[in-house]
Structure 1
Amino acid sequence: MSTKPKVAIIGTGGTISSVGRGPLDLIDYSAAGKVLDVNDVIARVPELALVAEIIPVPFKAIASTAIAWAEWKELLLICDRLVAEHPDLAGIAITHGTASLEETAYFLSLTLKIPVPVVLVGAQRPASALAGDGPMNLVNAVRVAADPRARGLGALVLLNDEIQAAREVTKTSTLRLQTFRTPDFGVLGQADADEVVWYRKPLRRMAPDTEFDVRGLDALPRVDVAYTYAGADGTAIEAFVAAGAKGIVTAGFAPGFVTPAMATALEEAVAKGVVVVLSSRAGSGRAGKTTRGRNAGFVTADNLTPQKARILLSLALAAGVTDLERIFAAY
């Protein structure tokens, strides 16, 4: 009988599972059209057997640009099922493309109800690459998922030997291996060769202790992101409202400002019952609370990036929450 911790690996595709046309094909590898399923990914990393007993869980071999609500809910239900089927499960690792990895991680960090750690892992270089980063990332993700100290920290992200909190991490570089960063606060810990080490814990609410349960939902309310730039008018905001948006998140000038024309359009949206959340496009720091914003009924996203503020707002609206200032201060 194995004495190693039992860890499930759910495979969703992405760069970590992709095979290009050669070892130097580091950018256009998707043109080859070959994506490994999770069993093949695991077979390429026999070292996984040194750190855990692995349970492969096939999902979909797709790019993370194609992952959204339907896949998020399915992943959530798979995690539920794995814990129910394997009472001795130590943790779960999910392979994922890096494009939307942080969004999937944050959704799961707000909605998971299981006690075991869930760690999302990807790669910047495909499986066929010279000096690919995927195998070591995957081994380290399994090590972190098996670590009891990872429990109660929401979903985690592991790349480049660094353990990041789902709420705070973001992709900061298109090609470099150190792409995932937590700009204001830094890593939670590191997966080094000799041991997994931890340095801090997040204080905001996260799985499994959240008020969001989406298992009975068929969809989330529509929430769109409106990007602010010099000279931006209200056209996009008006189009989002016409399309049925229940909420709009701005990616505003730091610390959350928008152009006068956008502000007018947003005020008109609020008058029509649309929730407006002000965020910043800067990638670091809080969105500021202003007198005009308060008077207009806008909510601020704290330091959440626009894409993560969108997820939190969607979940809050789905749950019928009306005290949105509390939500953005708590999560």
Structure 2
Amino acid sequence: MIKRRVHLLATGGTIATVYRPDLQGLAAGLSGQELMVEPPPGVDVTVEDFSRVNSTYVTPRDMLGLSRRIRAILTAKEADGIVVTHGTSTMEETAFFLDVTVPNPIPVVLTGAQRAAAEPFPDGPANLSAALEAASSPLSRGRGTLLVFAGEIHAARSVRKEHTSNLKAFSSGDAGLLGQVDPGGVVYFRDIEETRKFSVEAIEENVDLVSFAAGMDARYIETSIARKAAGLVVEGVGMGNVNEAFYRGIKAAREHGMVVVVVSRSPNGRVLPRYGYAGGGASLAREGVIFGGRLSAAKARLLLMISLGAGLKEPELAELFAQY
């Protein structure tokens, strides 16, 4: 029987977390080898420690480094699937970054844990076992980057962390589950739409994110203008609306040549240029604001960093975001 090869890249996170007396709290500490579980039958696993941090410390530059490493593994044909262990706080961001920057030939699967490794009945081992199963399955090929957690398989483009502590931490909202890992193996419920991939070697890190809430003024947008940010993601409400003060700030940002993308704080549905008042989506569209589809603010920021780093201009950027 031909063995399937899975390469495990460990980055830290709660799955690798133990109690640190010197910190009087939990922190990532275990290596990838210490995390390893019994692999599925017929699967060989190689383990590499990419980093050992809790995921609040992960940056887009780290994500780019991880993407480069995975692309090198693909080029060398060293694996039939890849698993990345990662903290849950920013796992959806890293998964999305990899989905946009890594081609689809073999499965790339992220997983982690809600309970620390040193706690009673940690969920990390079961999640890692399911991730290895998904990464080694031929059914997972060509589906982009996946997130496997609590037996569920999510597409990177739609998944969000929905609970701070429950073991079932992630949801794909309106899009629904992509599949699941059960005692019978890996099952998929639907296909995933192809989106553009960027094998980038650099990203535009000077991209800001500002969230709107009732009664806010434009001071944070003015800060972005003053520091000459290359791009700005605005998390509006509803279908992508803000108040008049925010509208004036966005208008000024556009006059200074800044690329502005609007998304919604609502976890489901998409942004649309429907309302015509100053701050409504239609008024933002008249200023050349790009609409971010169903993307979360965090994912829209990463996509803008990647696409600006790839040299895309505004018409191309609008077409790109329309895919989401």
TM over 0.5: yes
Match of 1:5?
Answer: 4
* Mapped partners of 2:141, 2:239: distance in 1: 34
Q: What is the one-letter code of the residue matched to 2:320?
A: I
* Mapped partners of 1:157, 1:49: distance in 2: 18
Residue 86 (structure 1) shift: 4.3
Q: What is the one-letter code of the residue matched to 1:214?
A: V
Match of 1:213?
Answer: 199
* Mapped partners of 1:133, 1:82: distance in 2: 28
* Residues 66-97 of structure 1: CA deviation (Å, up to 9, x unaligned): 1112211221122123234444x210000000
Extract unaligned runs of 5+ from structure 1.
23-28
Match of 1:256?
Answer: 240
CA contact (8 A) 1:19 1:127 kept: yes
Query: Structure 1 residue 201 and structure 2 residue 191: aligned?
Result: yes
The residue correspondences of 1:241-320 to structure 2 (distance < 5 A) are 241-289=225-273, 290-320=281-311
Match of 2:35?
Answer: 41
CA contact (8 A) 2:40 2:132 kept: no
* Mapped partners of 1:53, 1:158: distance in 2: 19
Q: RMSD of the alignment, in Å?
A: 1.9
* Mapped partners of 1:107, 1:240: distance in 2: 23
Q: What is the one-letter code of the residue matched to 2:250?
A: L
* Residues 219-246 of structure 1: CA deviation (Å, up to 9, x unaligned): 4241111111111100011112222311
Residue 173 (structure 1) shift: 0.6
Give the structure-1-normalised TM-score.
0.90
**Residues 161 and 8 of structure 1, relative CA distance in 2, 3 Å threshold:** same
Query: Structure 1 residue 106 and structure 2 residue 90: aligned?
Result: no
Q: What is the one-letter code of the residue matched to 2:11?
A: T
* Mapped partners of 2:236, 2:264: distance in 1: 5
Normalized per residue, which structure has more strand? 2
* Residues 294-321 of structure 1: CA deviation (Å, up to 9, x unaligned): 2111111111111111111122212222
Match of 1:25?
Answer: none
* Mapped partners of 1:109, 1:263: distance in 2: 32
Return the match for 1:76 from 67, 70, 75: 67
Extract unaligned runs of 5+ from structure 2.
274-280
Match of 1:325?
Answer: 318
5-14 vs 78-87, which moves further: 78-87
* Mapped partners of 1:314, 1:86: distance in 2: 28
* Mapped partners of 2:40, 2:66: distance in 1: 24
Residue 211 (structure 1) shift: 4.4
SS in 1 for 2:80: strand
Residue 131 (structure 1) shift: 1.6
Query: Structure 1 residue 160 and structure 2 residue 150: aligned?
Result: yes
* Residues 188-218 of structure 1: CA deviation (Å, up to 9, x unaligned): 100001211111012241xxxx342212x2x
SS in 2 for 1:294: helix
* Mapped partners of 1:170, 1:241: distance in 2: 30
**Residues 272 and 97 of structure 1, relative CA distance in 2, 3 Å threshold:** same
* Residues 130-176 of structure 1: CA deviation (Å, up to 9, x unaligned): 12110010011011111112111111000010000000000011001
SS in 1 for 2:45: strand
CA contact (8 A) 2:103 2:197 kept: no
* Mapped partners of 1:19, 1:180: distance in 2: 23
SS in 1 for 2:25: helix
Q: What is the one-letter code of the residue matched to 2:215?
A: G
* Mapped partners of 1:119, 1:35: distance in 2: 21
Match of 2:127?
Answer: 137
Match of 1:178?
Answer: 168
* Mapped partners of 2:266, 2:247: distance in 1: 19
* Mapped partners of 2:59, 2:236: distance in 1: 24
Return the match for 1:169 from 148, 153, 159: 159
* Mapped partners of 2:263, 2:26: distance in 1: 38
* Mapped partners of 1:147, 1:34: distance in 2: 29
Residue 10 (structure 1) shift: 0.3
* Mapped partners of 2:213, 2:171: distance in 1: 24
